[in-house]
């Protein structure tokens, strides 16, 4: 089912020690949960590469709270956010991907949220992930091309889009 409008981006952790790939996530979501497909739209691996899940324009299965499945793109970072923070490569890619999606869908930084911020009774994206700091990094990268995490500097929007596209496998 297609999403009518994208108003939010929800950040998740796989809550899985190690570096699961999209096929690992799909097996859990489809074989164990009985869903029709992987619930997230994107998975960011520890090396910063991006793997596609559900088609971006489709309703997700990643956050029922607040009706987010119908209005949000779900991005999952591999690893376990309660055990370790996202890697620098994950944060760099996450900031760039989120900013590309924000521009494409006119999403305000306030609508980039962690799963727990949607009201889920979980710590997702993890206790080691400070969503306020992450939003600052995302917003600074979007506005200035830099962040406190010393993320990749982009001179143009086209450079940032190209960076994201080359990360997608």
pLDDT digits (tens, 9 = 90+) for 91-100: 989 999 999 9
* Mean pLDDT on 150-162: 63
Contact present, 60 and 51 (Cβ < 8 Å): no
* Mean pLDDT on 148-158: 55
* Mean pLDDT on 15-26: 94
42 is catalytic: no
Query: Could you say which of 8, 29, 41, 115 is catalytic?
Result: 115
pLDDT digits (tens, 9 = 90+) for 126-144: 999 999 999 998 987 765 4
Give the residue extent of every domain in the chain.
8-167
Q: What is the pTM (predicted TM-score) of this model?
A: 0.86
User: Was domain 8-167 assigned CATH 3.40.80.10?
Assistant: yes
124 is catalytic: yes
């Amino acid at each position: 089912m297609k999403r009518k409008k994208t108003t939010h981006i929800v950040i998740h952790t796989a809550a899985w020690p190690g570096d699961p790939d999209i096929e690992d996530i799909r097996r859990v979501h489809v074989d164990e949960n009985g869903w029709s497909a992987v619930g997230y739209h994107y998975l960011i691996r520890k090396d910063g590469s991006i793997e596609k899940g559900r088609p971006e324009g489709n309703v997700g299965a990643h956050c029922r709270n607040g009706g987010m499945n119908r209005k949000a793109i779900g991005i999952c970072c591999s690893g376990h956010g309660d055990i370790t923070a996202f890697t620098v490569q994950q944060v760099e890619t996450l900031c760039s991907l989120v900013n590309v999606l924000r521009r494409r869908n006119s999403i305000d930084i306030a609508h980039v949220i962690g799963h727990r911020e949607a009201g889920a009774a979980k710590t997702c994206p993890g206790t080691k992930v400070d969503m306020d700091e992450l939003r600052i990094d995302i917003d600074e990268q979007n506005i200035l091309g830099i962040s406190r995490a010393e993320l990749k500097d982009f001179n143009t929007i086209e450079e940032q889009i190209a960076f994201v596209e080359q990360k997608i496998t």
